[in-house]
Chains A and B, each alone.
Chain A
Amino acid sequence: MFAAAAFALLVAMGMALVRALMGPTVYDRILAVNAFGTKTLLMIAVVGYLTERPEFLDIALVYALINFIGTVAVTKFVRFRSLGHPVGDAPEGEI
């Protein structure tokens, strides 16, 4: 049954990739890549069960955190063209 779940996840990942390629705005692409990352993390966990290696869950946990930080960093960079100090009159920490 985990093989079926892996197949469904693969199909969903392909659909997310289509949205990432179609756009039309850059925020659509960021959203699609974020959804792709969530599915990848579920995929890693499912593959861990398929191959009976629960250590894969550690990788899935780390992937969840990287996915979050990456999405927020890319959003901030696209919005402000900078990851460090705020640009213009935007307050610090604004997204």
Chain B
Amino acid sequence: MSLILDLATWSAIGAGCVFILVGTLGLLRLPDVFSRLHGAGMTDTLGAGLLVAGMLMQTTDWLVAAKLVLILVFLAFTSPMTSHALARAALHAGLQPWTRDKP
């Protein structure tokens, strides 16, 4: 039983790390600030979610589990708000989104 739990934890944390690294790679590779928002969004959603899921599986105390879930809930509310605030501020500051036909 504990072996299965450990395997599940390993795969969740490993997949979470992969998503975090790929999202940050997007932060470096994508062409402009609007498309980089998508890369940062990956870290906030599935990367954090899988890492927290992995930690949840190693927890027996319900208070610790509640705090872990609360971290996810906070991230789910705050991440789109910061993305939207940044995109809106950049758009109203006059930044032109990069597109393929108009680089």
Residues of A within 8 A of B (CB): 1-2, 4-5, 8-9, 11-12, 15-16, 18-19, 25, 27-28, 30-32, 34-35, 38-39, 41-42, 45-46, 49, 54, 57-58, 60-61, 64-65, 67-68, 71-72, 75-76, 78-79, 95
- CB distance A4 to B44 under 8 Å? no
If over half of B's interface residues share one DSSP class (helix, strand or loop), that class is named, otherwise mixed; here it is helix
Scan residues 45-78 of chain B and give those whose CB is less than 8 A from a CB of chain A: 47-48, 51-52, 54-55, 58-59, 61, 64, 67-68, 70-71, 74-75, 78
The complex places the Cα of A37 from the Cα of B75 at a distance, in Å, of 12
Q: Of A9, A34, A42, which is within 8 A of B40 by CB?
A: A34
The complex places the Cα of A71 from the Cα of B89 at a distance, in Å, of 12
Which A residue sits closest to B75, measured CB to CB?
A64
- Interface pairs A-B: 8 shortest CB-CB: A8-B17, A68-B78, A12-B24, A57-B67, A27-B90, A79-B89, A35-B40, A15-B24
- CB distance B67 to A16 under 8 Å? no
- CB distance B13 to A28 under 8 Å? no
